[in-house]
Chains A and B, each alone.
Chain A
């Protein structure tokens, strides 16, 4: 990894994010982007300091991705402007026409009590053609591929909360196959809109501890009650080690291993025995050729939902056994919220910064530890530690499990 860029609710760029994350600050606020009447959850980690006109979640996702990618490419120094020498792998939320646009179109219908055919009748003719271009699933990847000159067919992907990790994994595989010397792995999510909030809320997945908002996300705490939706983006420039060395690039860290294993238990819940997560972690260790005792920090999925955090502890115990208490564990989601499609990449970047600074960011709001989860949680204040290998986990909806092991030097 030779370049990284990040935007979260804590701010834009690595410097601000790292400073605020390690200071124990939160990016979660009461939502101001739209009216909150009737909503059970009223806070989120929205990125309000970035604006797009006219607003759409897809447009915001694209803008966040650009900001993160600009930062990553500048750091990496690879290629030249608009000419990235490798493929694009983009983790992005599923896209559809959004409510403001739907409402705008409907307001042009003259008839009362209209139906879908009346709606369709006003869609064509060209006045809304830009909405086709904006809301096709491939639109963000198309824009990024054209802007950065990535090579070949860009891949947009969704593996729910593991998407960011999957983007990195696809990049790693392409480089290992020798198809490319470099890959641009981007993960972005700008989904804080009323329908997304409602949909997660209807699944009882979100925290409703709205006041104060910055205390809502409390992974591994006994009184945790759900995750907090958030926005952000992370970009990583991956290069083959040899190619990076040959061009004298500064190497920020190495993807020592990646692994993935599907959970077929339930659409939203993890298998209670944690078997798929256990298998995922084991595959990742095997891919890296490492033993459990070589992992000295876990950047947890740690969503702050009652089920995930417990399952994650059980799975970790099953793999790491007696070594578990020796591993400091932290969840970045306590501070930035759950950036969903972006989370895997955002957290990989925080893991790399942990390796660089030899400092583990805290899990904030850790006031009432859950006795059922006796992790060595890095609670509330950052901890200096010797860290040479970090495991970053992503366990998501639809049984999507993916893990990464990041190291300072090749294993």
Chain B
């Protein structure tokens, strides 16, 4: 088998609760800014998307109307990534660009749902009442705003990314696998260039239902991820995080500059019924990265959910030299976007020659001076799935 090709990150698209674009994120991270809403869905804490005019990346109002917010966030961030890679509007490249999206489901019409639930609670509804309510009150196109694979569909329609299109599902793990498969395909020569990413809208009462079933949703007051000892849980966050990944030779041939290279992505499915499984999973994956420097940095998507966060922290505690940054403190938990957000911030940090400051009153996130050359991205699912990646400076 041929030598694996080097995979470069040549485009980054970020839209989140902090704002849009790389400069805005870099400045907000430096200022340790956090955008949190503890009122609208109180007692639950959410990180709403920053105000944005979607027109800049989704020019047709008709397209915007066909989407719900999660799709707008994703389609917008995907456009930013294409811009940043210098391939926006380049039909020759877009028509063969592969796409792997990690997606959950889109917004439900909460008004319709709550009306049905209230009517049912009052009793004596006829047998077909649910059918009739749904038939009469659901917006026909809402289905398309909800279907997981329609984020990819919208990116194809709006931006013309039309090689292959695959949507992975399964919360955090879906985005780890999206990166893993994209890297594997590029390394093996099965793909030259790929768009990989996810979108998440945290300002959603309907989404909280699933997590609150298992008491995962963080209730106020807000606290940083490492300071939730007595009140575990995650605040759902909002982000679109997209990356353009391509083989070094493809990038060089078109004169594209790398932010960083993505050296490895490893994923696991730990047997979580056993205590300590997450710690052991990370211990087993770590040597596969080839981290040569115990002074490397780690950007983790640690959720704040327990026990996985404590088990992850136990692993990190074994590597005292590491400068750790938890995206959950700043962005909340962005679920499917957790891992691409980590990759994006790692590549951004490497390209800026600095690791952004920690934001942690407990002192677990130590400061780091000097330009990072290796940043490890960690993703541990709140319920299942673990992954780890190595982002490095291009030599």
In the assembled complex, the Cα of A119 lies from the Cα of B110 at a distance in Å of 11
Interface pair A267/B153, CB less than 8 Å apart: yes
Of chain B, the residue at the smallest CB distance from A145 is: B269
Q: A138-B171, A199-B143 are in contact. Are A177 and B188 (CB under 8 A)?
A: yes
Interface pair A158/B212, CB less than 8 Å apart: no
Could you mark each residue 245-263 of chain A with 1 if its beta carbon is under 8 Å from any beta carbon of chain B, else 0? 0000000000000001111
Of chain B, the residue at the smallest CB distance from A266 is: B157
Q: A115-B114, A123-B212, A155-B181 are in contact. Are A92 and B143 (CB under 8 A)?
A: no
Interface residues of A in 352-393 (CB under 8 A from B): none
Q: A124-B212, A133-B214, A158-B169 are in contact. Are A198 and B138 (CB under 8 A)?
A: yes
Of chain B, the residue at the smallest CB distance from A174 is: B184
Q: A109-B121, A117-B41 are in contact. Are A157 and B166 (CB under 8 A)?
A: yes
Interface pair B156/A141, CB less than 8 Å apart: no
Specify which chain B residues have a CB less than 8 angstroms from the CB of A95 in the assembled complex.
105, 169
Interface pair B114/A159, CB less than 8 Å apart: no
Specify which chain B residues have a CB less than 8 angstroms from the CB of A160 in the assembled complex.
147, 149
A142, A152, A398 — most chain B CB neighbours (10 Å): A398
In the assembled complex, the Cα of A292 lies from the Cα of B150 at a distance in Å of 32
Could you mark each residue 93-119 of chain A with 1 if its beta carbon is under 8 Å from any beta carbon of chain B, else 0? 011110100110011010011111101
Q: A38-B128, A106-B117, A198-B135 are in contact. Are A141 and B170 (CB under 8 A)?
A: yes
Chain A CB within 8 A of B113 CB: yes
Q: Which of A37, A96, A131, A399 contacts B128 (CB 8 A)?
A: A37
Interface pair A170/B164, CB less than 8 Å apart: no
Q: A114-B114, A160-B147 are in contact. Are A124 and B213 (CB under 8 A)?
A: yes
Specify which chain A residues have a CB less than 8 angstroms from the CB of B162 in the assembled complex.
261-264, 276, 399
Specify which chain A residues have a CB less than 8 angstroms from the CB of B234 in the assembled complex.
none
Specify which chain A residues have a CB less than 8 angstroms from the CB of B205 in the assembled complex.
116-117, 120
Q: A129-B215, A276-B162 are in contact. Are A137 and B128 (CB under 8 A)?
A: no
Q: How far is the CB of A308 from chain B (nearest CB, A)?
A: 16
Specify which chain B residues have a CB less than 8 angstroms from the CB of A92 in the assembled complex.
169
Interface pair A37/B118, CB less than 8 Å apart: no
Interface pair B180/A37, CB less than 8 Å apart: no
Q: Which of B147, B169, B210, B215 contacts A135 (CB 8 A)?
A: B210
Q: Which stretch in B20-28, B50-58, B379-387 binds the other chain? A: B379-387
In the assembled complex, the Cα of A135 lies from the Cα of B209 at a distance in Å of 11
Q: How far is the CB of A268 from chain B (nearest CB, A)?
A: 7
Specify which chain A residues have a CB less than 8 angstroms from the CB of B149 in the assembled complex.
158-160, 397-398, 400
Q: How far is the CB of A127 from chain B (nearest CB, A)?
A: 9
Interface pair A262/B165, CB less than 8 Å apart: yes
Chain A CB within 8 A of B347 CB: no
Interface pair B131/A39, CB less than 8 Å apart: yes
Specify which chain A residues have a CB less than 8 angstroms from the CB of B385 in the assembled complex.
138, 153
Specify which chain A residues have a CB less than 8 angstroms from the CB of B147 in the assembled complex.
94, 158, 160, 397-398
Chain A CB within 8 A of B70 CB: no
Interface residues of A in 219-265 (CB under 8 A from B): 260-265
Specify which chain A residues have a CB less than 8 angstroms from the CB of B176 in the assembled complex.
153
Specify which chain A residues have a CB less than 8 angstroms from the CB of B190 in the assembled complex.
173, 176-177
Q: A39-B135, A133-B214, A177-B190 are in contact. Are A153 and B268 (CB under 8 A)?
A: yes
Interface pair B174/A138, CB less than 8 Å apart: yes
Chain A CB within 8 A of B104 CB: yes
Specify which chain B residues have a CB less than 8 angstroms from the CB of A177 in the assembled complex.
184-185, 188, 190
Chain A CB within 8 A of B134 CB: yes
Interface pair B209/A156, CB less than 8 Å apart: no
Interface residues of B in 181-207 (CB under 8 A from A): 181, 184-185, 188, 190, 205-206
Chain B CB within 8 A of A128 CB: yes
Could you mark each residue 298-330 of chain A with 1 if its beta carbon is under 8 Å from any beta carbon of chain B, else 0? 000000000000000000000000000000000
A40, A106, A157, A201 — most chain B CB neighbours (10 Å): A157
Interface pair A35/B131, CB less than 8 Å apart: yes
Chain B CB within 8 A of A195 CB: yes
Could you mark each residue 148-169 of chain B with 1 if its beta carbon is under 8 Å from any beta carbon of chain A, else 0? 1110111011001111111111
A107, A114, A177, A397 — most chain B CB neighbours (10 Å): A177
Chain A CB within 8 A of B87 CB: no
Interface pair B168/A156, CB less than 8 Å apart: yes
Specify which chain B residues have a CB less than 8 angstroms from the CB of A159 in the assembled complex.
149, 165-167
B118, B147, B213 — most chain A CB neighbours (10 Å): B213
Interface pair A35/B164, CB less than 8 Å apart: no
Interface residues of B in 88-133 (CB under 8 A from A): 99, 103-105, 108, 110, 113-114, 117-118, 120-122, 126-132
Going nearest first, the 3 A-B pairs with the smallest beta carbon separation are: A37-B128, A138-B170, A398-B153
Q: List 24 A-B contacts (CB under 8 A).
A: A37-B129, A38-B135, A94-B169, A96-B108, A99-B130, A103-B117, A112-B118, A116-B114, A120-B212, A131-B210, A132-B213, A138-B383, A160-B149, A177-B185, A199-B134, A202-B140, A203-B143, A260-B163, A260-B164, A262-B164, A264-B156, A266-B157, A267-B153, A397-B147
Task: Report which B residues bind A (CB closer than 8 A).
Answer: 1, 41-42, 44, 66, 99, 103-105, 108, 110, 113-114, 117-118, 120-122, 126-132, 134-135, 138, 140-144, 146-150, 152-154, 156-157, 160-171, 173-174, 176-177, 180-181, 184-185, 188, 190, 205-206, 208-217, 267-269, 271, 381, 383-385, 387
